[in-house]
Structure 1
Amino acid sequence: MDEISVAEFRTDVFDKEYITLNGTREGIVVGGRHLLDRLPRAFEGVDQIGVIGWGPQASAQSQNLRDSLAGSDVRVVVGLRAGSASAGAARAAGFTEQDGTLGEMFEVIAGSDMVLLLISDAAQAALHEQIFAALRTGATLGLSHGFLLGYLDQQGARFPEGIDVIAVCPKGMGASVRALYLQGAETNGAGINASFAVEQDVTGRATDRALGWSVGLGAPYTFRTTLRSEYLSDLTGERAILLGGVHGIVESLYRRFREQGMGETDAYRHSVDCVTGPISRTVSRDGLIGLYQRLDDAGREIFARAYAAAYPVGLELTHEIYDEVRSGNEIRSVILAGERLARFPMGRIDRASMWRAGEVARRDRDDEQLPLDPFTAGVFCGVMMGQIDTFIEYGHPYSEIANESVIEATDSLNPYMHARGVAFMVDNCSTTARLGSRKWAPRFDYLLTQTAYPSADDTNTQWDTTLVKAFEQHPIHEVLRECARLRPSVDIFVA
C-alpha cells in the first residue's frame, strides 16, 4: 500500500483541524450548513457538475449538491444512459431535460467541468475508455469508490494525464446520505462521514474541489486517505465486518441458539437483534471498551471466552480477504460475475427460515427489552477487532480504520439492518457488495461454527487470556473516543 501523510493537505477555502489518533496527527475538515456559502470558492472554475448515474449514491449526491449550491452559478446535471429506466425517478426529484439538468450521460460528461462518476463498478470498468475520451482536458473526475483504480492497475492502464482525479467516499448508504442531509436543515452537522482522496491534481484545485464536494453532501467531518487505500479498506470491509462478516456471524449464532433450545424469536433476538440493536448502539456511543465494561463479571467471562475464540477467525479471514483484494482477484471476481449475471441473476436470501422468523420478531419488538447477549458481543467484537488489526498491520490511517471497521457499521449500516434485517441489506446494497457478502459470509459462518464455537465451549481447554488483555489495552479505544467527539448529535435516520 502506498504510504500517505494524512496530516498534510492544504486547503485555501476550508478550515483544517487536527486530531491525534494513537499518537499520529491527522488533518480533517469539520462540515456543517454554515460552510455552504464557501462552496462557490471551492468550485472556482466549475460551471457544471455532472453526476453520472441514478443509483443510491448518485441520486442522493446529486440532490444534496443541487440543494447546497442553490443560488450559486454552479449547475448540477444528472447524466443517464439513453433510455434509462431511472429517468422517471430523476425527473420526479426535479432534474429535467427542459431546464438542462438531465441529459444523456456522455453528453453530460463532455459538457461538465466536474464529473462525478457514480455508476456501478462493472459499468465503470466496461465504459471507462469512452468516459475518459469524453472528458474535457482540465476537468475533474470524481469517484466515490476506488474500484476503478484497482481495475486500471490490473489492465496496466492509467487515468488520463490531463485531468484531476479525486474521490469523496461517504461512509454509509445513499439513502442515509440524503435523509441525514435533509435532517441537517434543522440539526447542523447531521450527515454521513466521508473520506477524500486526491489521485491527480493538474489544476491545483483538486483538494478544495474534493472538500467542497464532501461539505456539499453534508459530511459532518471529512478525513484524508488515498484512492488505493480506500478501495483496499472498503472492499475488504464490506466483505468482512460491514456486511459479509456480520451476515456470517448472525447466521451461525442463530443456529447455535436454536440448537441450544431457544425458540425462533428468541434466537433471532439473541443473534441478529442483539448485534444490530444494543451492541451497535452501545459501541456507537461508548466504543468497544464501553460495551465490554457494561457487562457484569459473569458476562465479561462469557464475552472473553467468545472473543478469544472468534478473534483468530476474524484475523485470518480478513487477512485472506485483504490479500484477495490487493492481488486483484476480488476485482476480477466482480467483473466476471457481472458477465454472468444476465444468465445467472443473484437470488434473494430473505426467504430462509431465519429471515422469516425475523419478520415476525420485528413486529412486536421492544428495543429497550432486547438482550445484550455477552457471547454474541464477544463474537462480534472478536471479528471486528480482527479487521481492525489487519488494517493496522497494513498501514492504514486510524481515521480510516475507525470509520471502515466500526463507525460505518454501528452508525450507518447496522441501524438499517436493525430496521429491515441483515437480509434486506445484503439484498439491496451495491452489486459489488452483494457479491462479496454472498462469497465470504459462508466462510465466516463455517469457521465460527467449526472452530470458534467448539473452542469456546471446551471447558477442558484454557482459552488465550492474552487476547482479551490485548483487547482491553488496544489503542482503538482511545481512537474511537476521539472520533466520538465529532459524532453528529443525532442518530442515523432510517427512511
Structure 2
Amino acid sequence: MAKLNFGGVEENVVTREEFPLAKAVATLKEETIAVIGYGVQGPGQALNLKDNGFNVIVGQRKNSKTWDKAVADGWVPGETLFEVEEAAKRGTIVQYLLSDAGQIAQWETVKNQLNPGDALYFSHGFGITYKDQTGIVPPKDVDVILVAPKGSGTSLRRLFVEGKGLNSSYAIFQDATGKAYDRVVALGIGVGSGYLFETDFQKEVYSDLTGERGILMGALAGVFEAQYEVLRKNGHSPSEAFNETVEELTQSLMPLVAENGMDWMYANCSTTAQRGALDWRHKFREATLPVFDDLYDSVKTGEEARVTIKANEKEDYRVKLEEELKELRESELWQTGAQVRKLRPENN
C-alpha cells in the first residue's frame, strides 16, 4: 500500500505496479469466485476476472433475461453458471452484485450458504450501511469486503477490452480471516481497476448516492434540461440548442477535462469563453450548494435508502420506471440527441 498526496491530503492507494496481476492471481489461486447477479456490475466484473485467469462462476435466476445473457457471454449451465443458491454454495468468495433490492430479497438464501472463512464481497455499501432497513447482517466468521468501480459495469468491461482500467475504491468491513486485505486488493486488480483508493462502506455509499443523484446523473440531466429550455424558448433550433448544451460538452470539452483538468480545458478555449465561465461558475456554485447540502443530508439520514427500498417494493415499480424513462427518452431534448448522434462522422 502506498500513500499519495491529493490536494494536501494523504490517501492509501494501491496500484497495478505495487500489486501486479500475477500476484493477484496467485493470491486467489485456491479460491472460487461466485459472482451473484448478472445485471449491471456482474457481467463486466465476471468476464474481466475470467479473462484475467481467476476461477469464476456465475449465479443467476434461471429462465431470466440475465441468465440468457450469461449463456450468450459464454457461461455454461452446470459448469460455470448456476442458480443463485448453488453458486453461493460453491463459492469461497461470494461477489454479491445483485441490485440493492435484489440483495434484500436474496439475502437469507445467500447467507445460509456462507461458510466460516468465506469472503462476502460488495460493490456498493448500501446493504451493510443501511442494515436496519435491509436486514443484511453478515456472519461474524466471514470477511466482508468491497471493491466499487467508479463507473458502470459496461464501462469497466469496455476499458478492460481496450487495455485500460477504471479506478475503484476498496474497503474492509470485517476481517475474520486475516486475509481480507489481500483478498480485496487481488479482486480489485482482477476486475480491472486502474488503481484502488481506500474508503469504508459508509463513505462509499454516501458519496455514491450523492454523486448519482447529483453531478453524475440527476443534476446533470436537470441542468441539461434547463439550458435547453432557455435556448429553445428564445428561438434557437433544437439542433443548435442540443449541440450547445450536450454535444459540445460530451464530445469536445469533457475529454479535455479528463485529459488534463478543468483549468487546462479553460486555457484551450477562447478568451470570451474563459471570462464568462470563470465569472458564472461562482453563481452556479452558490445556487447549487444548498441543494447538494440537502441531498447529502438525505443520504446520511437514510431517507434516500428508505425511498429507494419502498419504491422497489411496489409491484408496479418496473412499469412506473419505464414510464418515467419513456418520458425522458421521448422529450424533444433527447429525441434531438438521437438524431445528432446519427450525424456524427463515425456513424456515416
| TM-score of the pair, normalised by structure 2 | 0.92
Give the corresponding residue for 1:299. 273
Distance apart, 1:366 and its partner CA:
6.1
Letter in 2 for 1:215: I
Specify whether residues 34 and 180 from structure 1 end up closer, same or farther in structure 2 by C-alpha distance, changes over 3 A only: farther
Give the corresponding residue for 1:29. 14
Letter in 1 for 2:22: D
Specify whether residues 138 and 332 from structure 1 end up closer, same or farther in structure 2 by C-alpha distance, changes over 3 A only: same
Give the corresponding residue for 1:113. 92
Specify whether residues 143 and 326 from structure 1 end up closer, same or farther in structure 2 by C-alpha distance, changes over 3 A only: same
In the alignment, is residue 211 of structure 1 matched against residue 196 of structure 2? Answer: no
Aligned partner of residue 210 in structure 1, secondary structure: helix
Distance apart, 1:360 and its partner CA:
2.1
In the alignment, is residue 170 of structure 1 matched against residue 149 of structure 2? Answer: yes
In the alignment, is residue 267 of structure 1 matched against residue 241 of structure 2? Answer: yes
Give the corresponding residue for 2:101. 122
Give the corresponding residue for 2:65. 85
Specify whether residues 33 and 226 from structure 1 end up closer, same or farther in structure 2 by C-alpha distance, changes over 3 A only: closer
Letter in 2 for 1:251: E
Distance apart, 1:156 and its partner CA:
7.5
- 8 A contact 2:127–2:134 mirrored in 1: no
Cα distance in 2 for residues equivalent to 1:336 and 1:363 = 39
Distance apart, 1:168 and its partner CA:
0.5
Give the corresponding residue for 1:253. 227
Cα distance in 1 for residues equivalent to 2:233 and 2:344 = 23
Aligned partner of residue 309 in structure 1, secondary structure: helix
Aligned partner of residue 302 in structure 1, secondary structure: helix
- 8 A contact 2:214–2:292 mirrored in 1: yes
Between stretches 252-261 and 48-57, larger displacement belongs to 252-261
Q: Deviations over 1:158-194 (max 9, x none)?
A: 322111000011111111211221221xxxxx11111
Aligned residues: 342
Letter in 1 for 2:105: A
- 8 A contact 2:104–2:134 mirrored in 1: no
Distance apart, 1:291 and its partner CA:
2.6
Distance apart, 1:330 and its partner CA:
0.4
Letter in 2 for 1:142: Y
Letter in 2 for 1:38: K
Q: Deviations over 1:84-139 (max 9, x none)?
A: 332222122221124x2111111111221100011111111222233222211211
Cα distance in 2 for residues equivalent to 1:195 and 1:280 = 23
Give the corresponding residue for 1:76. 56
Q: Deviations over 1:468-494 (max 9, x none)?
A: xxxxxxxxxxxxxxxxxxxxxxxxxxx
Correspondence 1:255-404 to 2 at 5 A: 255-340=229-314, 342=316, 344-346=319-321, 347=323, 348=326, 349-365=328-344
Aligned partner of residue 65 in structure 2, secondary structure: coil
Distance apart, 1:33 and its partner CA:
12
Distance apart, 1:300 and its partner CA:
2.8
| TM-score of the pair, normalised by structure 1 | 0.65
Correspondence 1:95-244 to 2 at 5 A: 95-98=75-78, 100-154=79-133, 158-184=137-163, 190-244=164-218
Distance apart, 1:276 and its partner CA:
1.6
Of structures 1 and 2, the one scoring higher in RCO (CA 8 A, sep 6+) is 1
Between stretches 296-305 and 28-37, larger displacement belongs to 28-37
Note the residue ranges of structure 2 that are not aligned, 5 or more in a row. Answer: none
Cα distance in 2 for residues equivalent to 1:49 and 1:86 = 19
Cα distance in 1 for residues equivalent to 2:339 and 2:114 = 51
CA RMSD of aligned residues (A): 2.2
Aligned partner of residue 161 in structure 1, secondary structure: coil
Aligned partner of residue 134 in structure 1, secondary structure: coil
Distance apart, 1:251 and its partner CA:
0.6
Percent sequence identity over matched residues?
32
Letter in 2 for 1:173: S
Distance apart, 1:295 and its partner CA:
3.7
Letter in 2 for 1:96: V
Cα distance in 2 for residues equivalent to 1:116 and 1:60 = 12
